Structure 1
Amino acid sequence: MMDPKLRKRLYIRQKQRLYRKKIVDEIEMLREQSMVLEKQVAYMSAKKGTMLSWENVAKGLEEDVLAAKQTECALKEKRKGYLDLIASMVKWIALQKGIQTSVALPVHTWRNVTLLAGETTRKLGFDWITKNVHYNTNRMLQQYDFPALNSPETILDFTVDMADLECLQYILRCQRELPIPLEYVVPAIREHVIQFLVRAQWNYEDLDMQEKTVEELDVEDDDDTMTYTSNTISDEEVINYLTREFHTENQVIFVGQNIHQDELLPKCKRQSNRTFWFILDRMEAFKTKLRVLYTTSHYFTSEGYVSLMDEAKYWGCDLDAIPEAKQTAKFHQYVMTMGQEFARHGEQQIQLAFQ
């Protein structure tokens, strides 16, 4: 049997061992809790750093409201601009219809030749007018009986359509093959023929074309294929010519149309409708087909087409001493002489372009 004292000492030791183990276990548990709490503190601290104060939230909302109001104002202004543009285009279309009713232009309803003052409307007008002249290229070539593109036929003529004596039409046609690459023909035609044409004035006495200094007008666009010029012919007539180039790989088309009314320019007393096409087609590497169509209408004013007597006078032909029965034939003979000389000078200008 164990000694009571020894048993007591063993009991005390065991109790102390259990107590120390308990303390060690508590310390280990506290360490683990400490690590968990440290992680939570770190997380909460990081989260607190990304959260905005109420002052910052209020300021941010105020900035959003201000931006929304600015966007709303911009959209309202844009809407107003669109409404103004629509109103201007309605006015523009009405003007075209009005011109064709009062002046009775010959069914070429695609020739809208009025420009309004508004910047956006003018840009649309420049683009629309030139694109529509270009769009009608093939129809006009067919209407005026041009030979097929691959035809070897060469033409240079001037005719007068006298089907309606109150609305004469003057037509110049040219078609020929040039032994020059398209890339060289284009700049030559642009610089020496097109630019000469929009600047020229016909001298009825000397039967000669005289180049003048014209005013370059702004097309309000960066499109360098488009030009707008004002050529003062007399106190009664100003030709405002709008021209443009259209390029594809094997064809270049120059179109021109005079503007009848421009709200930014003074009105002239009389004018005629003038439209031209210069069509250049690549036939082979060193061959280019040139086709030219130039049409001019009877003179007109705001009241309508002028009389045959006035038309003849504007061409430099005095019919006062001619019996009325012979006036039409006399004027036709006179105009044909003028037109043929005009065609001859045009051909000379084309030849000069390649010298």
Structure 2
Amino acid sequence: MAMITPHPRFPLYPFLFGLTIGVSLTNIFSLLLKPSPQKHNIYLKMFTNLLSLQPNYIPLPSILLNYVPEQSNRWINLGYWEEGGDDKSYDDACTAMVNLVKAKLTKVKHDYIIDVGCGNGDSLKHWSKPSIGINITPLEVTLANKNGTCILGDATDPKCFLEIFNTHPNKTPVICAIDCAYHFNPRSSFYSNCKNFGFEVVLTDVILKDGHSWLNRKFIEFACRIAGIPKDNVKTKDEYVSELKGMGYHVEVQTVEGVFSRFANFAKRQAEICEDDGLRFEGLGSAIDDLKSKGTFLKGCEDAFEYIIVVATP
């Protein structure tokens, strides 16, 4: 699954890019306020990495994430690795994330699934009921249609849902979205559209942990904006739930532990595999280096963010 509205300069994994910058800038500023000789070199390396980013920088290309012989999948999400699940394959982890969402579908009535932000369509093969994908990226829509049915559209535009709704009269859909809702611009319009149609929503999202200082939060919002993630989508759990309740939703939120850190472990291992197999000499050296650095940065994201599953019913 992909971010549904990729930033034009960072088409793959813009969210991870934003997290990297946010964590880096926050740590750098903390160093200025409270100098620590032990951490000086680490923060200096972070700062150097930020300065070296180029306009054509492409973080975490899916070719590396899915680099396994004889595998045709094109997943691009963080995956669910479970406790002690570091030995799990990326394909299994991404499938497990879909299964987490599927388990929540028992709570809502539906005849079919609208899979918003379905990326390259791998998730379309795993739903237990008929599904239709929506994605805003033409190339991903083309690839997704090899796995199922996907239309080109923007989840914040009600016409997108209306087109599907009118072709499936007398049937009730549920809206699912994995690793993309935080990228909707704005996410509130997406939720409002679903509410107006009477759709129930089950999705994964990211929220800000409580306790951030005003300054830290501003750095994180700035980083997310660079990555194409609207500032208004950066919310704590209380803010998130309050917004949905204000729209008339009943809301259930479940935290999924370890998503960032375990993906980081995978990224490190995957970079080593790609290195050992000589991909650096196939023109992917900078991508491998990026994969390694993101593994390092994402380790710290567990302290800043929570990964959640949301069930919102009108």
TM over 0.5: no
The normalised TM-score by structure 2 is 0.26
The structure that has the greater radius of gyration is: 1
User: Which one has the bigger strand percentage?
Assistant: 1
The normalised TM-score by structure 1 is 0.24
